[in-house]
Each structure stands twice: as C-alpha cells, then as structure tokens.
Amino acid sequence: MSKKIRLTAALVLCASMCLTSLPCQAQESKPTASARPVINGGLPHVSPDGKLIAFVSNRGGATDLYVIAGNGRDEKQLTQTPESESLAGWTRDGKQILFSTTANDVSTLYEIKSDGTNQREIAKFPGRGPMPSPDGASVIYMSGTWTATRLMVSRIDGTQPKQITDGSSIAWNTHWSPDSKRLAFTGRTAPDAPLAIFVVNNDGSGLRQLTRIAAEEGGAQWPVWSPDGKRIAVQVNNRVTRTNAFIWVVDVGTGDARKLGTHDSAYLDETPSWFPNGKHVAFQSNRTGRMEVWTMKVDGSDPQQVTH
C-alpha cells in the first residue's frame, strides 16, 4: 500500500458525534435535530485514573456535559447551555475535561474541572471536532465537507495548521495514540465500501488501513487507542439491520480483530473508551431501551449499566 492512500469520495454520511454529540448509528443521511433520540448517557470518556466517566446527555433538550463515578454514583451536570457540547476527553493529569462547541463551522475548545468550575476557553478552530493530543501540544480537527474531509493538525492555540489527509473522502472520529505520534480515524476506500479504521502519523505520513472486518459484520468506526498503544477499540455497526452494533478490539500491529461478546437482540454497543488498566471499557448502549453508559471487561463479560 502506498504511503499516501487516496480515499474515494463517500456518498454515505454517518451521524457523526463531532456534529451532533449523539451516538453514531450508521445512518445513511445526516439526522435532523427533531429526529434525534433521547440520550440519557452517551459518548463516555474515562478519566486517566479510572475513577470518573465524563459523558453527554440531551435529556434536557440540548446536549450537555456530565460526569459520574465508575460505580454509577455521584452524577453531576457540568454544563447547561443552549449549545450542544461534544466531548474531547480529559487532560493527561485528569484535572480537566475537554469539550467543544461548534457554530458556523468554527469550533471553540474548552476545558472544565470535573466539579463544573473553572471553565476556560482554549482556542478556536476553523473546523469541527477539535481533539487535543495527550501531550497537550497539538490539536486535530476536521475541515471541509462531511464527504470530503480534511484532517488538520495545529498547535494547541490553533496556529501553524497543517493538512494531513488529502480531503478526497471521509475522515471522522479521530483519536490520538497515547504517545501523540499517530492518529486513528474512520474512513473508507470506495463510496460503497464499509467504513474502516485508518492509522496515520501526526505529520500525514504512513497512512494505512487497519481494519478489514468482514462486510457482513458491518463498518468499523469510532477508534480509541488502548493505554499501551497496542490495541484500538472500535464499534462495528451492521449496515443491513442498522439495529445491531458491537464493540471490537483490533491489534494495531497485525490488524487482527476480535468481537467483544455476541447478542441476538437488536441493540447497539458503541463509542468505546478504555479504562487505564486496559482490562475494561466503557461504552454507550441501548440494551435497556434507552441509550446509557455501560462498562464491561475486554473479553465482553460482566456488562454493568452505569447511568440510569
């Protein structure tokens, strides 16, 4: 595979969380606000010490930011604004939660303490879904259209932007490796191809397709690196039923992929987030009828509902 892979422009849009802060359900068109389901708990991001889980909910109308202990106690709402917040993770020291809002294709990145105090604007970016690197030096964000997305890397203050993908296709759901040297994102190789995960160096070199999950399983998206950088957790949505999704774990070196558990019921397990021990993941699921935050072991066992 060549160093620069030109990804063919896609016709199918995902319900990207960077746009709506709602779960990605492999929809074929961009959802309208009136069609959005109620998310009681979604987009979980586990804190670096594993004690807290930040998440979003639109239970009050707009999508706001919340935090809860891993055992389901002490839930706290951190924001209450007419804008929709999209989570970007935690600072490496675990003292701040990172999130963004987007208006007129300009995103503002913020940080806020887990008790809801000391909210501070970091920078503005001419695109969507800004996500700071773990070392705090850089930010990745999306520019261009949803079907021809350019990934841009800049300094944390928004200066010195550099385009690292050619913008010929989709490039969604970006996530930094723990050492801040690589990025994983959702892409595809043809308009009718399933979604797949691609990995690229932070300077745009070394682009390669990581996942090659069987088409009947569905498309892989929402990649999240494990704490040791050796694995990536993803969600795989069935393209036919659109009512089934599983969490998978992929070996970064070999591309070998493993499904975490199986279920016959029509429900969605999506948006994984690793615990720092590398043995558990948090995720969003509508197993009980409404989208909530759950946790489970990386072998798929011991699922526990966190939000209620």
Mean pLDDT by 10 residues, the chain (308 residues): 34 32 35 62 98 96 96 96 94 96 96 96 97 97 94 97 94 97 95 92 97 93 98 92 90 96 84 98 95 96 95
Residue 192 vs residues 11, 70, 157, 167, 184: alpha-carbon distances, Å:
8, 39, 38, 18, 21
Task: Specify the DSSP class assigned to residue 211.
Answer: -
Q: Which residues, 6+ apart, have CB-to-CB distance to 98 below 8 Å?
A: 87, 88, 89, 90, 91, 109, 110, 111, 122, 131, 132
pLDDT at residue number 36: 63
pLDDT at residue number 265: 77
Residue 87 vs residues 65, 160, 238, 277: alpha-carbon distances, Å:
8, 24, 25, 21
pLDDT at residue number 192: 82
**What does the alpha-carbon distance between residue 70 and residue 274 come to, in Å, rounded to a whole number?**
12
Look up residue 141 and give its two tokens. 């964000």
**What does the alpha-carbon distance between residue 181 and residue 201 come to, in Å, rounded to a whole number?**
6
Residue ranges of domains in the chain, CATH in brackets: 17-305 (2.120.10.30)
Specify the pTM.
Answer: 0.89
For residues 287 and 274, the answer to whether their CB atoms sit within 8 Å is no
For residues 201 and 182, the answer to whether their CB atoms sit within 8 Å is yes
pLDDT at residue number 239: 79
pLDDT at residue number 167: 92
